[in-house]
Chains A and B, each alone.
Chain A
Amino acid sequence: MANETHAVDAAAAVAGHAAEAAEKGGMPQLDFSTFPNQIFWLTVTLVVIYWLLTRIALPRIASVLADRQGTISGDLAAAEEYKLKAKDAEAAYAKALSDARAQAQKIIAETRSEIQKELDAATAKADAEIAERLAQSEESIAEIRAGALEAVQSVAAETAAEIVVALGGKADKAALSTAVDARVKG
C-alpha cells in the first residue's frame, strides 16, 4: 500500500498538479489506486441499469406509448365515424321532414279535390232537382193555363149560347164554338 501511495503521489506529481502541495494526497480524482475499483463498480452499475431498462422499463414504456397512440387514433377515428353518422342522421331527418311536408301537401290537395268533387256532385244534383221541379211547375202551370183556357172557352160558349138565345136566336152549337174559339185565340 505504501508503495502504491508513493506511485500515486509520483503520478500526481508528474501530472503537475499544483494543489498537491497544499492538500495531502492531492485530488482524489487522480488517485489511480481507486481506478480499478471505480471502473469495476461503474461497469456493474451500467450493466445493471442497461439490463433493467432493456428487460423491463423500455419495453413497458414503449408499449404504453404505442397503446396510448393507438387509443388516441382509435378515438379520433370513432369520433369521425360518429360525426359522419350524425350528418347522415341529420340528412335523414331533413328528408323525413320534407317527405312529411310533401305528404301533407298531397293529402291536403286530395282532400280538397275530393271535397270539390262532392261539392260539384251535390251542386249538380241540386241543380238537377231544381230543374226538375221547375219543369214540373211549368207543366202544372201549363196544365192550369190550359184548364183555364178551356174553362174560358166553355164559359164563353155557354154565355154566347145564352146570349144568342136571349136575343131570340137559335143557338147552333158547332158554329158557336168555332166562333168563340176564333175570338178567344184572337
Chain B
Amino acid sequence: MAEEAGTGLVFHPMEPFKIHSLFGGEVHWYTPTNATLWMFIGILAISLLFIVGTRGRAIVPSRVQSVAELAYGFVHKMVEDVAGKDGLKYFPYIFTLFLFIVFANFLGLIPMAFTPTSHIAVTGLMAMAVFISVTVLGFMKNGAGFLGLFWVSSAPLALRPLLAVIEVISYFVRPVSHSIRLAGNMMAGHAVMEVFAAFAPLILFSAIGIAVTPLSVLAIVAMYALEMLVAFVQAYVFTILTCVYLKDALHPGH
C-alpha cells in the first residue's frame, strides 16, 4: 500500500484485479475464485437475455427478446460482411467470444465487481484460441495456398521477399496485440477510476479537498461514461478482428 504521509489517502489501483479464492485458502487450478464468480454471473446474464428473454418466441418480440435479436443480428451481419457467407459456419464460436467479452466488460463496471477480461491470461487464451484455430483452418482449407497470405502478389517482385518477412512477423504478432488491446483497455480504465476514487475522500483530511473532491467525483463520472463506451468498443474490436483473421484463413488472397 502506498500512503501519502499526513493525508491518509490510500492508493491501491491494482486491488480490484487481484484474484483470490472465494472460500479462502490457496488458489489452485480448480479453486473457485472471484474470477470464477464473475464469469458465472456472465453466464447467468447471457442465459437471462438469450434463453429466458427469448422463451416467448414471439413474432412481434418483447423488449428483452428484441435486444437478444439485435445482438444476434449485429454479430451475424458482422461475420457475414467481413468473413463472407462461408464464415457463417463459425458464427456460434465468434458469438460466444463476443458475448463473453461484452458481458464481462459491462459486469466489470459494477462497483466492486471483478473484470475477467482485464486479465491477460483470459484475453491471451482467447486470442491464442483464435490464432491457432484460424491458422489450422487456413491450412486445412487452402493447403500450402494459405502461405499466399504472406506473398503480396500485387507488390513489385523485388519487394515481395521483404514484405513476406514483414507479413509473417505481423501474423505472429496478431495474438499479442489482439489480447493485450482488450486486457490493457479494461485494466487501464478501471485503474484510472481507482486512482480518482482514492482522491475523492481528500475533503475529510485536507482543505485542498474542497477543490479536489468534486473534481475527482466528476472525473469518475466522466471515466465511467468513457468506460461504458470502451467496454462495448473493445468487445466489438476483438470480434471484428476475429472475423478479419477468419476471412484471411478462408480467402487468403489479398
**Contact yes or no, A38 B116, CB < 8 A:** yes
B122 within 8 A of partner (CB): yes
**Contact yes or no, B95 A58, CB < 8 A:** yes
**Contact yes or no, A28 B72, CB < 8 A:** no
**Contact yes or no, A22 B69, CB < 8 A:** no
Contacts of A30 in B (CB 8 A): 120
Bound together, the chains give a CA A49 to CA B45 distance in angstroms of: 11
**Contact yes or no, A56 B122, CB < 8 A:** no
Least CB separation from A23: chain B residue: B14
Report the minimum CB–CB distance from A18 to chain B (whole Å).
Answer: 13
B92 within 8 A of partner (CB): yes
Chain A binding surface SS class: helix
Contact of B27 among A29, A37, A43, A61 (CB under 8 A): A37
Contact of B69 among A1, A19, A52, A64 (CB under 8 A): A64
Q: How large is the interface on A (under 10, 10 to 19, 20 to 34, 35 or more residues)?
A: 35 or more
Contacts of A39 in B (CB 8 A): 29, 121, 125
Contacts of A34 in B (CB 8 A): 19, 27, 33, 35, 119, 121
**Contact yes or no, A29 B183, CB < 8 A:** yes
The A22-67 residues at the B interface (CB cut-off 8 A) are 22-24, 26-31, 33-46, 48-50, 52-54, 56-58, 60-65, 67
Report the minimum CB–CB distance from B43 to chain A (whole Å).
Answer: 5
Contacts of A31 in B (CB 8 A): 19
A106 within 8 A of partner (CB): no
Report the minimum CB–CB distance from B129 to chain A (whole Å).
Answer: 8
Extra contacts, 5 of them, besides A42-B125, A53-B96 (Cβ < 8 A), are: A29-B118, A35-B121, A45-B42, A52-B47, A57-B51
Which B residues are within 8 Å of any A CB, using their own CB?
A: 1-2, 12, 14, 17-19, 26-33, 35-36, 39-40, 42-43, 46-47, 50-51, 54, 57-59, 61, 65, 68-69, 72-73, 92-93, 95-97, 99-100, 116, 118-122, 125-126, 183, 187
Which A residues are within 8 Å of any B CB, using their own CB?
A: 1, 19, 22-24, 26-31, 33-46, 48-50, 52-54, 56-58, 60-65, 67-68, 71
